[in-house]
Structure 1
Amino acid sequence: MKVAHRKLLLSLALLWLTASGAQVVNPTLRQDDSFPQNNNFPNDPNRETRDVGQVITDPNLKITDYKIISHQRDTTFLDTTLTIEKEYRYNFLRQDDFELMPFANIGQPYNRLGADLRRVSPFPGIGASARDPNYIDREEVSYYNVATPTTDLFFKTTLEQGQLLDAMVTTNFSRRTNLSLAFKGFRSRGKYQQEEVTSGNFRATFNHQNKKGTYTMRAHIVAQDILAQENGGLANSEAQFESGDSDFTDRSRLDVRFNNVQNQRNGKRYYLDHSLKLLGKKSDSTVSSSGVYLGHQLTYETQWFQYNQNTNNTAYFGDAIFTPVKDQAYLKTFDNRLSLHWENKYLGKLGGFAQLFDYQYFFRSILITEEQTIPSNLSDSEVLTGAFWEKSFGPISLQAEGGLGLIGDLTDSYLNAHIRMPLGEKFSLDAGIHHSARKPNFNMLLYQSGYVNFNWDNSSSFENEQVQSLFGRLESDRFGTIEARLSTISNFSYFASSATAEQIGEGREREFIRPVQQSDQVSYLRLKYQKEFKFGSWALNNTVLYQEVDQSADVLNLPTLVTRNTLYFSSEVFKKAMYLQTGVTFKYFTSYYMDAYNPLMAEFYVQNQEKLGGFPMLDFFINARVQQTRIYLKAEHFNSFFSQNNFFAAPDYPYRDFVIRFGLVWNFFS
């Protein structure tokens, strides 16, 4: 781990010690338990004399007073229970990876088993999308409002040398002001040669509201560094892996394509979101928040992606312009959004906005060939305008936002609309529509590389991708949850090899990977069903995904069926001092033309030569909860002992063998 990463971890530890003073030992804290009296801001000498709207001593303080606020301002609370959903989220990403297929090593790319064609941002990104799962976007940052200083520690073992630690500490200086610091440090050497991954993700958040409630602000700083060795996959997977030869049970003995390659994705972001009430009454617990508000959001972000190779590999990527190869792409963006909205109980929240987006995507050279000239940058300013509306009609809530591009050619328009409503006493419905029309990622529009065939300028020839999506979610405690989504996309952009049949036969298809736009429309239907059946202390949790793609060419390849089924037992043990959960998870997806991986650009590309999948993955787990600590132990893919070696995450990239990993999540309340 880098020296800077160690300094950040030390800073987190010092802040936690400063904020908490002496650690208060709490009794076992369940979701309905209260903290001891006088534990509310214990280090605050003025806690008994605070003004109205500030924190005072509360003997009934509960875990629900420890709030987590999302970017979309949805509020949840710190959940210290142990559930099967926590088991699904106890992984490198800290989210359910049901629709993802991980590579052999922790922190490596994830192939997709499902797709969500909806666009979160109206603007393109830098690309290198295989690194997206470990890159924290603006919309993924959480903010906090906690009654006492709180710490969340996540630890899990990795493969061979290294560990995974995600530490967060947050404290409220008053009920209206919160600060949090977090750092996720990671290293895993892996079982195969040349696949070590290290990363560091630092986050700092701040949110504040003034005493009168007329000004609110939140901000964050995120700094990220993701560094990975790339081995290019197995050089002879059929003979050394699929054959099951006992000489290659030690995976470090298998031949790989590269031994001197790494890629790296870095980013820094500064974000500010604040609003001022211009007209209206005070906002507190007894007065309506009606009034006129002026809002401003500012985001400044720098990113770069780098590919390093000490000696070129012409047998894999074709002819090289120079040696060593060191490709570097940079993106700087400055996003300013100014909004004005009116809020009252009759209209809800109704407003409009204007947005200025400045971007500079660039390389440090201009490439001139006999066929074309590859410029060094794409830079310009985009201007958008739009409107938004939020309104609740009793239990029914509506949200809508749309934008239209006025200046620039990156974005044409977008629309998101959503409704939540109950259907009788047993069902609830979430439904909505999505539309977006924008250019694909920058690395598809312009790219420069030390390899001849990986240089292109599509900035004037590629059209806007147009996505339309209808989706709905019907939820019932008795019947389970079913989700449906129908999406269509025009000008679908993807990476694929343009190699001829002869070149593919010679094993040269990777030399000709380029971005492509599909002129015909692609339609995508997905149905996802979730239901848990309980039998006393036993439970069977089921998730099934069905997918169908209508396309003139195989450009969006997905498995028809993905299923995950967990049979588990839960019970209090040791006179209710511990809550225990143990079981087996079965995961399976049908075979399909799984996307292949290109380490040069950290992108997946479409291939239609080899079908992969159709193998089961069985995990055995034992989890326990003691007070606010959740302990996890898992035997991953234990059926690899007696199954065929046909488990791949991408062509030439196997899924991991049997491994036992453990760790914990620990919450402190001071």
Structure 2
Amino acid sequence: MRHLLFCMIGVFCISLSANAQFNRNFGGMGGGKMQIDTSNHEHEPDTLTIRYTFLGEPTEYMIDSSILDFTKNYLGVPATYISTGNYGGAARNLLFSPRMKAGFDAGFHAYDVYGNYHETAKFYNTNRPYSELYYMIGSKQEQVIGVSHTQNRTEKFNIAFDYIKINSPGYYRSQVTNHDRYRLTSRYHTPNKRYNIHISYYLNRLNGGENGGIENVALLDDPAYTDYKTIPTNLGGSTISSNALFSTNIPTKSDYQEGSFLFQHSYDWGRGDTIHVNDTTDYWKYDPRFRIQHTLTYTQNTYRFLDSNPDTVFYPQHYGFSVSDIDTLRSMQRWKIMSNDLSIISFPILGNQAHFLNLGATIDNVKGELTDAIADFYNFRVHGEYRNKTRNKKWDLSAKGEFYVLGANSGDYTLSGSLSRYINPKLGNITLAVKNTNQEPYYKYKFFSTSEKFWLNTSFNKENITKLSFIANSDLWKYNLSLNYFIVTNYTYFSDFQTSAQYNGVFNVLQLWVDKKFKLKSFTWLAEAAFQQIHGSAPLQLPTIWTRHRIGYEGTLFKNLNLFTGIEAKYTTAYYADDYSPLFGQFVYQDVNKINNKPDLAAFVHFRVKSFTAYVRGENLNAFLWTNNLNAPLYPSNNFAFRLGIRWWYIN
């Protein structure tokens, strides 16, 4: 604790120095978000304007500097997710959120929430070099290190880089997580703005310890096991794993490496004009009428499971094969995907790039190297999109379609449409949306192999999922509401640790989500709740109600100190929580062990002083009151944990 206190004092002193520089360059920040200037003219040298977009999305976004949500804004994990007990461990969403994406999918998604992907790549435009630094330290030597930087080398060229390291030994044996994720994005346009390039690269190195759960939940209350590291686990052996920030030994682990490079370039035909800003400043404005766009994507994903000390009871019991005569159990899948897409885009109205028609075709070449097999196939698909976001931003119409016409996934498709209308400040925005997907089940549902055994199941039909949505939100009334209705046919799942199955009937899921901010002077109550109900006898288990509440003081002190402090509580009604199959990296259906948890409690102090933000948290306070809650059968949550996280942004 002495070292931790010195670290806190040092960080605060550094922040005071940084804030002085921040005041000179930034001009201060009083609101919850950094101000964005979407104009094209030159800016004053002592102000920062920064904005970003996503691929294929014309909307510009600003950086969120809110201190209200530590889980979302700092850890990057939605509050509705639960893991196998440790930050960085295999995780899933408690809200029904099925994959709705046509085409090939290997099926390894237990660690997705910690990774980078092209869909979330941010392409920046900023008038000043901008950087962010992250550091978090927690109990049991938990650490997170992050750095982010973006700058425009010229008005035509921007580059951005992100790196995040997550290292968490956890509270239980063989539960270490050690993740590294990298992202590089860049955009460029020629001086006449007719030729544009976007580049996105990411690399996720995800290493998660797999302990198969503790041997007996009753040991949590046994006084002989006050140190939870001594509780026997089903995998990982009796030796406690060694751990260091950059050197970690994990005897039983899922080792995922996902890397992808995307290069998109386009050429426009349209009309350009010189805009006169003042006596010394002009800029070139170009409005496209027609565009040809080519996108090349190369992806290589490797998914490994490694157990250097396989348990002689766990594997025969759950997977049906003996490991008594082997030293190491292995499983590996490596997938290489090369995609080439050619699209033509028409802009009916000059000056509104959010109104367009996109038609294109893509060919995907897929090669797989498995533990004892090779796969080689292709897919050819066509796609189209119509988007009309009006200049006054009151209407937003979107219609998309993607069809797999040839190849291994022929017959797959995704259709979606949405209509949004901004009504007024009180009623805010209302959206109606529909999405329908016909898709091949995950590849690992059909074939999976290890060094000792393989599984083959080719009897599956295509899954069909329809989602109907009503969404409403208002910044004035500070609420978000969404009502989703799912219609699912041929639902594919794991009925136990090793058996994939398909439910050929039809079932429905009704899902209601609402969050609301209540404010009375400096008293703040942030309430979130979800209700879910299944219609039909589906092999699916969901909590009926999930809710989270953050209650406390929110205000500004001494002009520059933005403070939010109080308590946080999360609660889930009793349900048959999915079990977890470590060999397959898959959450599996079970209806034997019903989990009835008490609320998760935390106390927090979040504050921001100009460019410096700190999160001070005491989590899992409920461990002082009752036995640790269970996230899955035999997977208890962590014990009480202290966390200190800082975020520091500045102009170079």
TM-score (structure 2 length as normaliser): 0.86
CA gap 1:212/1:415 in 2 versus in 1, 3 angstroms: same
What's the counterpart of residue 418 of structure 1? 418
Structure 2: distance between partners of 1:104 and 1:396: 44
Shift of 1:151: 0.6
- Verify: 1:659 aligned to 2:641, yes or no: yes
- Verify: 1:101 aligned to 2:82, yes or no: yes
Structure 2: distance between partners of 1:247 and 1:377: 50
Matches within 5 A, 1:317-396: 317-318=315-316, 319-320=321-322, 323=326, 324-345=328-349, 348-365=355-372, 376-393=373-390, 394=392, 395-396=394-395
Structure 1: distance between partners of 2:40 and 2:516: 42
Q: Of 572, 575, 594, which aligns to 2:577?
A: 594
What's the counterpart of residue 180 of structure 1? 160
Shift of 1:23: 9.3
CA gap 1:520/1:642 in 2 versus in 1, 3 angstroms: same
CA gap 1:203/1:212 in 2 versus in 1, 3 angstroms: same
- Verify: 1:669 aligned to 2:651, yes or no: yes
What's the counterpart of residue 626 of structure 1? 609
Structure 2: distance between partners of 1:208 and 1:363: 39
Shift of 1:457: 2.5
Structure 2: distance between partners of 1:58 and 1:577: 23
Structure 2: distance between partners of 1:359 and 1:593: 37
What's the counterpart of residue 558 of structure 1? 542
2:618 maps to amino acid = A
What's the counterpart of residue 270 of structure 2? 280
Structure 1: distance between partners of 2:28 and 2:421: 33
What's the counterpart of residue 598 of structure 2? 615
Cα shift readout 1:363-401 (whole Å, capped 9, x = no counterpart): 142xxxxxxxxxx13321111112211113452111111
Cα shift readout 1:163-222 (whole Å, capped 9, x = no counterpart): 111211111011221011121112111121111111111111111121111111111121
Q: Does structure 2 retain, via aligned residues, the 8 Å contact 1:410–1:464?
A: no
What's the counterpart of residue 44 of structure 2? 58
Q: SS state of the match for residue 287, structure 2?
A: coil
What's the counterpart of residue 372 of structure 1? none
Matches within 5 A, 1:218-229: 218-229=198-209
Q: Of 557, 560, 563, which aligns to 1:580?
A: 563
> What RMSD, in angstroms, separates the aligned Cα atoms of the two structures?
2.5
CA gap 1:33/1:197 in 2 versus in 1, 3 angstroms: closer
CA gap 1:556/1:489 in 2 versus in 1, 3 angstroms: same
| Count of equivalent residues | 592
Q: Does structure 1 retain, via aligned residues, the 8 Å contact 2:371–2:451?
A: no
What's the counterpart of residue 291 of structure 2? 293
Q: Does structure 2 retain, via aligned residues, the 8 Å contact 1:339–1:351?
A: yes
Share of identical aligned residues, percent?
A: 20
What's the counterpart of residue 430 of structure 1? 431
Shift of 1:539: 1.0
Shift of 1:118: 5.0
Q: Does structure 1 retain, via aligned residues, the 8 Å contact 2:212–2:234?
A: yes
2:399 maps to amino acid = A
Q: SS state of the match for residue 105, structure 2?
A: coil
Cα shift readout 1:85-126 (whole Å, capped 9, x = no counterpart): x4342443x14x22212333221122431022252x422322
Matches within 5 A, 1:142-541: 142-238=122-218, 240-241=219-220, 244-259=221-236, 260-277=251-268, 279-282=269-272, 289-318=287-316, 319-320=321-322, 323=326, 324-345=328-349, 348-365=355-372, 376-393=373-390, 394=392, 395-411=394-410, 412-427=412-427, 428-452=429-453, 455-458=454-457, 460-476=458-474, 477-478=476-477, 480-497=479-496, 510=497, 513-541=498-526
CA gap 1:169/1:669 in 2 versus in 1, 3 angstroms: same
Structure 2: distance between partners of 1:606 and 1:193: 25
Q: SS state of the match for residue 443, structure 1?
A: helix
What's the counterpart of residue 641 of structure 1? 624
Q: SS state of the match for residue 224, structure 2?
A: helix
Structure 2: distance between partners of 1:544 and 1:212: 50
Shift of 1:83: 3.8
> Which stretch has the larger CA shift, 346-355 or 409-418?
346-355
1:569 maps to amino acid = Y
What's the counterpart of residue 17 of structure 1? none
Q: Does structure 1 retain, via aligned residues, the 8 Å contact 2:142–2:170?
A: no
> Which stretch has the larger CA shift, 151-160 or 628-637?
151-160
Structure 2: distance between partners of 1:433 and 1:547: 19
CA gap 1:548/1:640 in 2 versus in 1, 3 angstroms: same
Shift of 1:657: 1.4
Q: Does structure 1 retain, via aligned residues, the 8 Å contact 2:25–2:46?
A: no
What's the counterpart of residue 96 of structure 2? 115
Cα shift readout 1:628-652 (whole Å, capped 9, x = no counterpart): 1111100101122012x15101110
Structure 2: distance between partners of 1:171 and 1:326: 44
Q: SS state of the match for residue 79, structure 2?
A: coil
Structure 2: distance between partners of 1:232 and 1:261: 10
Deviating 4+ runs (over 4 angstroms):
22-25, 31-35, 53-57, 283-288
Cα shift readout 1:132-152 (whole Å, capped 9, x = no counterpart): 111222212222111111111
Q: SS state of the match for residue 26, structure 1?
A: helix
Structure 2: distance between partners of 1:249 and 1:24: 49
1:109 maps to amino acid = A
Structure 2: distance between partners of 1:429 and 1:24: 39
What's the counterpart of residue 568 of structure 1? 552
Q: Does structure 1 retain, via aligned residues, the 8 Å contact 2:171–2:639?
A: no
Q: Does structure 2 retain, via aligned residues, the 8 Å contact 1:317–1:451?
A: no
